Amino acid sequence: MDTALVLLANTTEINPFLLGRQLADALFPNALAPRPPARPLQPGFYYSREESRVLRLNGRGELESAMTRVPLEWHEDDKFRPYWPMLHLQLTPRGDSLVGFDGPRRVEFIRLPAFQGGDLHAYTGRFYQPALKSVWQIALEGQQLVLTLSGPHGASRFHLTPLSHEVLIAVPAVNPDGDYRPTVRLFTVNGRRRLSLTTDRTAPLSADDMSFSSQ
């Protein structure tokens, strides 16, 4: 006899895909194929320059991306994927890297060494995003870097944590305990600083340093 499990859930509060699997495991323990046991992973932040994106393994068997925090599901002994259907990652640990696929694209995330810090003023600046006609600003408030995204419909503020001289994690100032944590990258193109902002579902949005002027 076939059995269907229908779950109605508020996706802003819980992971319905994971909850559905947990309910199925409890109600129909012999219906689903068993999952391989988890393998040890090196916790830390992993960065892909090609994707302009950071993943974090938090040491509790969970993966934190720019928009969610989910448990890992292992399969084929050495491959794992996040337990969330909106993430299409399938990765294999290889030393200090996670290699595999994000949908059809081949990806590699390299573990970032512990950042020793630096001059926080080096991150500050004002940047212009032409598509959105908005100004993005990184300012130093005390010892906290703050990113403000200003546009025609208001402004959003993020607290920034540097992971390297180039890569930062943005945490919403109004909800610091949430799972939304975009990746911010600061780099130079043709002598001009550029800021990019990336989430799980969007390509990087870039803004150029407004202090630059051609001679």
Q: Which fold has domain 36-111?
A: Lipocalin (2.40.128)
Please answer whether residues 167 and 47 qualify as being in contact, where contact means their C-beta atoms are separated by less than 8 angstroms. Answer: yes
Q: Determine the topology of domain 120-209 in CATH.
A: Lipocalin (2.40.128)
Please tell me the pTM assigned to this model: 0.81
140-197 confidence digits (pLDDT tens):
999 999 999 997 778 999 999 999 999 999 999 998 888 889 999 999 999 999 999 9
- CA atoms of 141 and 133, how far apart (whole Å): 25
pLDDT of residue 13: 47
* Longest CA–CA separation in the chain, Å: 76
Query: Residue 215: which pLDDT band, with cuts at 50, 70 and 90?
Result: very low
Q: What is the DSSP string of 38-105?
A: PPP---EEEEETTTTEEEEE-SSSEEE-SS-EEEEEEETTTEEEES-TT--EEEEEETTEEEEEETTE
The confidence score (pLDDT) of residue 171 equals: 95
More confidently predicted of 192 and 22: 192
Give Cβ neighbours of residue 17 (< 8 Å, ≥ 6 apart).
83, 84, 85
| Domain-wise residue ranges, the chain | 1-34, 36-111, 120-209
Assess whether the region 36-111 and the region 120-209 belong to the same CATH fold. Answer: yes
Q: Which of 189, 169, 166 is nearest to 178 (CA)?
A: 169
196, 206 contact by CB (below 8 A): yes
Q: What is the pLDDT, as a whole number, of residue 9?
A: 59
pLDDT for residue 82:
86
pLDDT digits (tens, 9 = 90+) for 39-94: 788 999 999 999 999 999 998 888 999 888 888 888 777 899 887 777 889 999 99
Structure tokens at 19: 């909850």
